[in-house]
Structure 1
Amino acid sequence: MNTPSPVRSQILDHAVTLIMLRGYNGFSYRDLSNLVGIKTASIHYYFPSKDDLVLEAVSSYSDEVLSSMNAIGDTLPADAKLSKYTKLFGKTLGDGDQICLCGMLAADIESLPDDIRQAVQAFFKANERWLTKVLMQGVEEGTLAINGKPENAARALFAAYQGSVLASRLFKTKARLEDVETTVKVVR
């Protein structure tokens, strides 16, 4: 089994953070070299191009987020699942200065190569599929209320989550994120 190089992992970790803070066009290998303490040529050894690095960052980030989503217990009621999902988005905000990596890249979509665009789209679709299942469960249980088809509601809800992290960053508050969850919960 190949163990990733600590330097490669540091480069990738810093790249993820920089993308979440600044987007695709907001960082360079020079920024990474300063953060990791290596020459830019060393970064090219691990990631020959910025596109290679960003694609790996999307893959790593997606794997982590989707794994966290899938770890939300199947036996929980839908409203509890949605609360846990909201907390995942809250973790993304960190200190309130970063947003979802794939949401940030979606804003840069016109400057992204096709393979990164497809990876970002796959992340969005995976979240929307998961939310569709949760919304359908919630309607059946009576814990969540939606208008229209669950697939459409899931897309709208995911868009609301993505927008809420932008607004939360802008206003330096997680309240915007928490507001999204309450829009689909049934009041008892």
Structure 2
Amino acid sequence: MRLNKSYSILEVGQRLTQTRGYNAFSYADISEQVKIRKASIHYYFPSKADLGRKLVMRYRREMRRQLQAIEQATASPWERLSQVLQLYRQGLTADGLCLCTVLSAEFLTLPDAVQSQVREFYSELESWVGQVISAGQATGCFRADSSPEMMAQSWLASLQGTQMRCRLAADRIGQWDAIAPYLLGQLTAA
């Protein structure tokens, strides 16, 4: 029972963060959706900072799992990044954004423990994307005029900005499908 409640709280907390923002919900919102008292939420997560930290830790684990699955599915750098684009597209279909995209927009107002986890998420993702870009540079798939690290940072910034921009569109997915090919195009040799 304890794990089910904790899981439910995390699920609702993540959905609220991805759709409203971290600072736009309270334990009362979670209480209403999970059908437990606010005091019970404090039993599992004594503070909202504890909840936020756990949300990002869980999100990081899931992203690592998805990146490992991508690695097992294909060795092609182009295809690996195409699959990352699909992960971000899926977020739009659920009316949300990448959890850490939302949190980075609110970064300066987040508790230190949550900021630290968000930084770790980006460090891990940038490192992985940088390795993929480096492999693509070695095979001539991606241009080699910049360091893989700088290209990874730029590409991820474009990816997040595209996701936020598409969220504004009446046809989010149509907008995404029109823009996403350019994200890979910016990495290719000219």
The question of a shared fold, defined as TM-score above 0.5 by the shorter chain, is answered with yes
Which moved further from structure 2: 3-12 or 133-142? Answer: 3-12
Task: Check conservation: 1:147, 1:153, Cα contact below 8 A.
Answer: no
Which one has a larger percent helix, Structure 1 or Structure 2?
2
Question: 1:56-135 to 2 correspondence within 5 Å?
Answer: 56-73=54-71, 76-95=75-94, 97-135=95-133
Structure 1: any 5+ residue segments left out of the alignment?
none
Partner residue of 2:186 out of 161, 174, 183: 183
1:21/1:99 contact within 8 Å kept: yes
TM-score (norm 2): 0.90
Distance 2:2 2:85 in 1: 31
Select between 119-128 and 65-74 the one with higher mean Cα deviation: 65-74
Structure-2 separation of matches of 1:128 and 1:114: 21
Q: CA deviation at 1:164?
A: 1.1
Q: 2:7 aligns with which of 6, 9, 16?
A: 9
> For residues 148 and 186 of structure 1, do their structure 2 counterparts lie closer, same or farther at Cα, with a shift above 3 Å needed?
closer
- After superposing the two structures, state which structure 1 stretch, 84-93 or 6-15, moved more: 84-93
Which residue in 2 is equivalent to 1:50?
48
Percent identity over the alignment is: 33
Say whether the 8 Å CA contact 1:102–1:123 is kept in structure 2: yes
Task: Supply the AA of the counterpart residue of 1:98.
Answer: G
- 5+ unaligned residues in a row in structure 2: which ranges? none
For these two proteins, the number of residue pairs brought into alignment is 184
Normalising by structure 1, report the TM-score.
Answer: 0.91
1:136 aligned partner, one-letter code: S
2:182, 2:12 → 1: CA distance?
30
- In the alignment, the residues of structure 2 paired with residue 15 and residue 34 of structure 1 have an alpha-carbon distance, to the nearest angstrom, of 12
8 Å Cα contact 2:144-2:189 kept in structure 1: no
Measured on the aligned residues, the alpha-carbon RMSD in Å equals 1.8
Give the one of 158, 170, 176 matched to 1:160: 158
